[in-house]
Amino acid sequence: MTQSDAVEIWPGKAYPLGATYDGYGTNFSVYSEVAERVELCLFDADGTETRVTLPEVDAFVWHGLVPNVEPGQRYGYRIHGPYDPANGQRCNPNKLLVDPYAKAIDGQFQWDQSLFGYNFGDPDSRNDDDSAASMPKSVVINPYFDWAADRSPRHEYADTVIYEAHVKGLTQTHPDIPEQMRGTYAGVGHPAIIEHLKSLGVNAIELMPVHHFANDSTLIDKGLSNYWGYNTIGFFAPDGKYSSNTTPGGQVQEFKAMVRALHEADIEVILDVVYNHTAEGNHLGPTISFRGIDNSAYYRLVDDDARYYMDYTGTGNSLNVRNPHALQLIMDSLRYWVTEMHVDGFRFDLAATLAREFYDVDRLSSFFELVQQDPTVSQVKLIAEPWDVGPGGYQVGNFPPQWTEWNGKYRDTVRDYWRGEPSTLDEFASRLTGSADLYEHTGRRPVASINFITAHDGFTLRDLVSYNEKHNEANGEDNNDGESHNRSWNCGAEGPTDDPAVNELRARQQRNLLATLLLSQGVPMICHGDELGRTQQGNNNVYCQDNELSWIDWANADEELIEFTRHVGALRRAHPVFRRRRFFDGRPVRQRAAGGLPDIAWLRPDGTEMGDADWDSGFGKSVAVFINGNGIPDRDARGQRITDDSFLLCFNAHHEPIEFTLAASEFGERWEPVLYTADAVQTDGTKPIDAGQTLPVEARSILVLRAVPSS
């Protein structure tokens, strides 16, 4: 380590925060209200550290400009200030700290005593071991990139199909991706992945966390790792673990190239972001960034004992969204990813935590007010995971109007309906038509509902129909981790089986679930690999499994299921009646349709309209729904009213075949089958069927018919 007089430093500017290269030098800026002195630590390639004191402080922002510091320079901070855990302060200049605004981070944490502010076994002690050798380093990046003619696709929500994916899991085993690009941003932007997504009708990919995250020491000790990445420590930095470019800061250029390639293919990029907590954990966690910079500003502390952290996330801490500087960090991060990295939206992990200004969830909290007013962030897709683990944390349907939500009630209802649970028919109808009961009262539309049946957290689609119980033994927690109530059904055998009847039923159930998802009103989200029949062997919590268990197995993809998914996706894409922008009202649309037909009608299998007794019967599992293509209240970009064909969807979740009588001729005189989940392979050119005829619909299947226009 060399002393500060070895480096020339000028006053610089307080904003922007972080390290900003301008072609001549780099401005460094960091916020800390409690700091008494801040040292900037510059690291050479051999690890030699040079310390220089930041010379200026304005409004608690410490700053200085160092001439001739260029992109690729590794750095960190040391904060001189109070160490008083009982009063919420944990400054210690012996701990090298990651810049909260670092645009790139190089290296990984080496978990040893030096990272912790106390001595193991004595949490009330103070540890002064120097942590620099065990810490990753912040990196000055080159902000310049040739975006060419890049533009956001800006798909309307109603036209969006989301594909949730993990950068590594999606690409690690794909045979057409060069080996050095597998598991990376470059792999996601490879033509092989783009072609697959396009074939499904996907036009938005939602990437699981790519912000730089820490790999938990407890998992490393077990020979496992944090695969999912919900352990953020760098809210501006794309994680270098997913980059084939190994030069310091090279991951930024690779990420931008991925976004550019996806945009060229008309695919949006949505990031799963974790602003509710950080990787520093609770009072026994390491001191690696925020804790050592200004602990009480960045974290929610227990009011009557500031030694401890409020934990609404189950991870040890919660970001302090009551503090304006913590809020600024979140908003600056969001703006950066939109303006500099060109992403198109965000999915907010455990978003209810961001609404906890005090104790309860408040949908009008400062965070949501800032988003509402921000001219940049308010214009991209905003998706909430509308719950956390704190009291009152389940907030499905309660987020502000401009937000969409992962609809957990959709997931639960559709799973229950297809596994044959009683008394689900009426709620199934609500979820199929956009969940007006959840969203209409706040002025939102069907697109507020992000519909999903499976996601990264839980069973895959194939496992959902193959296992009654979770099988998480590989996680090393005696199968005690993960959700135990999965609303799954193994179709008669637990796990793999040679029984052809069970396997055929499982295949049909997967088709039922995918067809329901893609033909529901709202925004569908497919979990990566579900269309290929991906299995995790019954493990519903692969957060720590960075291996073949969690990666997509492209070599054993279910080609029939892929083709079926493409078929349903094409049906949705071709017909706006399945992606309406407004809720159904069920009333006659006399001005739009001859005969005053309603925009939607619910029918019993015998073709007559459903009555109250039919909805209330706990045993009912079969229903038909007429969707009127002339009853769409939407207009296109030129103001022209949108019309479409009409459809009849026959749902049979019963364990036996049901005879469906096609709707009376007022709904349509002739009907053409366009989708039947009882068949593994869909065929075109089926002869139209006259209204009033009776058709058998196989047990646990969907038949979709299109009204043939009168000649």
Active site residues: 349, 385
With the CA atoms of 498, 499, 505 and 510 taken in that order, what torsion angle do they form, in degrees rounded to the nearest 10?
-10
List the Cα angle 260/265/266 in 5-degree steps: 95
Q: What is the chain's Cα-based Rg?
A: 27
Q: Which residue is it, tokens 């401009």? A: 402
Output the DSSP codes for 313-338.
SSSS--B-TTSHHHHHHHHHHHHHHH
Cβ atoms of 30 and 100 within 8 Å: the answer is yes
Longest dimension (CA), the chain: 92
Angle between helices 559-574 and 191-200 (to 10 degrees): 60
Output the DSSP codes for 90-128.
E--TTS-B--TT-SEEES----SGGGSSSBTTBTTS---
Instruction: Kindly report the three-state secondary structure assignment for every residue of 439-471.
Output: HHHHCCCHHHEEECCCCCCCCCHHHHCCCCCCC
Q: In the Cβ-directed half-sphere of 493, how many Cα atoms lie within 13 Å?
A: 12
- Collect contacts of 635-638 with beta carbons under 8 A, ≥24 apart: none
CA distance 46 to 98: 19
Amino acid at 349: D
Which stretches within 164-284 are classed as H helix? 167-171, 185-188, 191-200, 217-221, 250-264
Q: Which residue is it, tokens 């049901």? A: 658
Dihedral of alpha carbons 605, 606, 607, 613, sign = negative
CA distance 276 to 353: 6
Q: CB-based contacts of 350: which residues, under 8 Å, 6+ apart?
A: 274, 276, 277, 312, 313, 385, 387, 388, 389, 393
Nearest to 368 by CA among 411, 398, 393: 398
Helix (H) or strand (E) holding 373: helix 366-373
Q: In the Cβ-directed half-sphere of 546, how many Cα atoms lie within 13 Å?
A: 16
Q: CB-based contacts of 157: which residues, under 8 Å, 6+ apart?
A: 381, 404, 447, 523
